[in-house]
Amino acid sequence: MVGQRFRAAAQGGVGHEHCAGVLLWAAAMSVSPHPTSQDPAPRSIVTDPRRRPIGVFDSGVGGLTVLHELLVALPSEDFLYLGDTARFPYGEREQQELECFAIQMAEELLRRRAKLLVVACNAATAAALPALRRRMLETTLGVDVVGVVRPEALRAVAATRTGRIGVLATPTTIASGAYEEAVRAVDAHVTVHCVACPGLAAVIQDGREFDEDTVAIMREVCAPLREAHVDVVVLGCTHYPLIGKMLQRMLGPDVTLVSSGAALARQVEHALSTRGLLNPSDQEGDYRFLCTGDAAAFAAIGTRFLQMPLGPVEHVGVAQLDVTGGSPTTGLRAHS
């Protein structure tokens, strides 16, 4: 019932979803001396791997809430963001399909010399990390993969006083069981109460004012968590921080909301530091944007999520991803 109402509310709007994993390009990537016509024209040849950009991808613009935290925490780093708006939303797709999408997006960013990849989508993280982990067993380059789920689980377990944690996320993320598994790995005595929110990400991304029906839907989503007396709620989709104030009002002031951005930013900084890949520059870094859908629509919507100017957005066709992402990148080491 909740899903039908959210889908009805989302009809007619511009679709993008969010909801996060990280792939560290630890080995220095060589620049092809004979680039093909499909290779992106590099702004400059960067031989020092520390000065290469951090790649970030999401199903749409929701991952910009994660990028915002990364820009604040790592101001000297360059970032390249890819939003798969042509195939938004991810939150109700099948696992195998999301594995394919995630590998394609990773390939595109790595082809553009990314030194680290942030999968700023909870659904893609939950669905694709196991596949990336299997790929790591087949390769030897030693590329690390860090997911968004575990940092959130760690923060949630640390914050709970009652041992009852709630999770709001898309149906695909909830069905994966990723949050229950991550919390159990940290503390087996903590209880996790999950609520799927089909269509909510699209409603948020549309940017329309919430009417009484939408507010009623939000109360319906929060009701099971109130009944379970949770004292921590994980926002398991990167769109959800934009309605954090509304959720806080409905859940009550004593409930702590946990989102992926800040926790993930700290883990990215740690990963770069451990590998000696922190950018040595003392200047403010650059950030650029790619999307598979309408670039103008991405730019119009994205500023609200990023809370900073976007600038130009480059279009990358899905067909191009199909070509470049046909075989997974080698050397993926996964950490959930």
Bridge partners, residue 23, by sequence: 117, 145
Q: Kindly state whether residues 23 and 144 are assigned to the same domain.
A: yes
Q: Kindly state whether residues 93 and 159 are assigned to the same domain.
A: no
The dihedral sign for the CA sequence 249, 189, 170, 4: negative
Q: Which stretch, 46-60, 137-151, 280-294, has highest mean pLDDT? A: 280-294
Q: Kindly state whether residues 85 and 192 are assigned to the same domain.
A: no
Answer whether residue 60 is part of any domain.
Answer: yes
Strands (DSSP E) found in 120-173: 143-146, 164-169
Residue 220, C-beta contacts closer than 8 angstroms, at least 6 positions apart: 2
Answer whether residue 5 is part of any domain.
Answer: no
User: Tens digit of pLDDT for each residue in 221-247?
Assistant: 999 999 999 999 999 999 999 999 999
User: Tens digit of pLDDT for each residue in 188-208?
Assistant: 999 999 999 998 988 888 876
The pLDDT score that the predictor gives to residue 44 is 55
How many domains is the chain partitioned into structurally? 2
More confident residue, 164 or 10: 164
User: Tens digit of pLDDT for each residue in 48-103?
Assistant: 989 999 999 999 999 999 999 999 999 999 999 999 999 999 998 999 999 999 88
More confident residue, 274 or 21: 274
Residue among 200, 270, 186, 199 nearest 232 (CA): 186
How many helices (H) and strands (E) are present in the chain, helices listed first? 13, 12
Q: Kindly state whether residues 246 and 266 are assigned to the same domain.
A: no
Q: Kindly state whether residues 89 and 202 are assigned to the same domain.
A: no
Residue 239, C-beta contacts closer than 8 angstroms, at least 6 positions apart: 17, 18, 19, 62, 65, 200, 201, 204, 205, 305
The pLDDT score that the predictor gives to residue 312 is 94
Confidence of residue 319 (pLDDT cuts 50, 70, 90): confident
Q: Kindly state whether residues 27 and 95 are assigned to the same domain.
A: yes
Answer whether residue 7 is part of any domain.
Answer: no
Residues above pLDDT 90, as percent of the chain: 55
The pLDDT score that the predictor gives to residue 12 is 40
**Residue 39 amino acid letter:** D
DSSP state of 241: G
Answer whether residue 4 is part of any domain.
Answer: no
Domain finish residue from 245, 260, 275 = 260
CB 179 within 8 A of CB 205: no
More confident residue, 6 or 134: 134
What is the C-alpha separation between 66 and 259, in angstroms, rounded?
9
With b for 16 or more beta-carbon neighbours within 10 A and e for fewer, the 94-118 pattern comes to ebeebbbbbbbbbbbbbbbbbbbbb
Residues above pLDDT 70, as percent of the chain: 78
Q: Kindly state whether residues 322 and 231 are assigned to the same domain.
A: no
The pLDDT score that the predictor gives to residue 7 is 52
**Residue 201 amino acid letter:** A
List the structure tokens of 124.
Answer: 């893609």
Q: Kindly state whether residues 31 and 111 are assigned to the same domain.
A: yes
Query: Which of 28-37, 159-168, 313-322 is the least confident region?
Result: 28-37
CB 55 within 8 A of CB 112: yes
CB 241 within 8 A of CB 65: yes
Q: Kindly state whether residues 171 and 251 are assigned to the same domain.
A: yes
The pLDDT score that the predictor gives to residue 14 is 38
Residue among 81, 65, 55 nearest 18 (CA): 65
List the structure tokens of 134.
Answer: 């299997």
Residue 6, C-beta contacts closer than 8 angstroms, at least 6 positions apart: 197, 198, 199, 200, 202, 203, 217
Active site residues: 121, 237
What is the domain range of residue 116?
13-148+262-335
The dihedral sign for the CA sequence 95, 100, 104, 110: positive
More confident residue, 335 or 132: 132
Domain with residue 191: its CATH number is 3.40.50.1860
The pLDDT score that the predictor gives to residue 323 is 57
Q: Kindly state whether residues 275 and 245 are assigned to the same domain.
A: no
Domain finish residue from 242, 260, 278 = 260
Mean pLDDT of all residues belonging to the chain: 82
The pLDDT score that the predictor gives to residue 217 is 84
Distances (CA, A) of 156 to 182, 201, 224: 11, 22, 18
Output the CA torsion 84→53→135→154 (10° steps).
-90
Answer whether residue 311 is part of any domain.
Answer: yes
**Residue 192 amino acid letter:** V
Q: Kindly state whether residues 143 and 214 are assigned to the same domain.
A: no
Domain finish residue from 214, 238, 260 = 260
Q: Count Cβ atoms within 10 A of the Cβ of residue 170 and give its class: 0-12 exposed, 13-18 middle, 19 or more buried.
A: buried
Answer whether residue 310 is part of any domain.
Answer: yes
Q: Kindly state whether residues 22 and 114 are assigned to the same domain.
A: yes
Residue among 55, 63, 57 nearest 79 (CA): 55
Answer whether residue 25 is part of any domain.
Answer: yes
Distances (CA, A) of 292 to 58, 61, 296: 11, 11, 11
CB 85 within 8 A of CB 294: yes
Query: Which of 36-45, 47-56, 138-147 is the least confident region?
Result: 36-45
Predicted confidence (pLDDT) at residue 24 exceeds the cutoff of 80? no
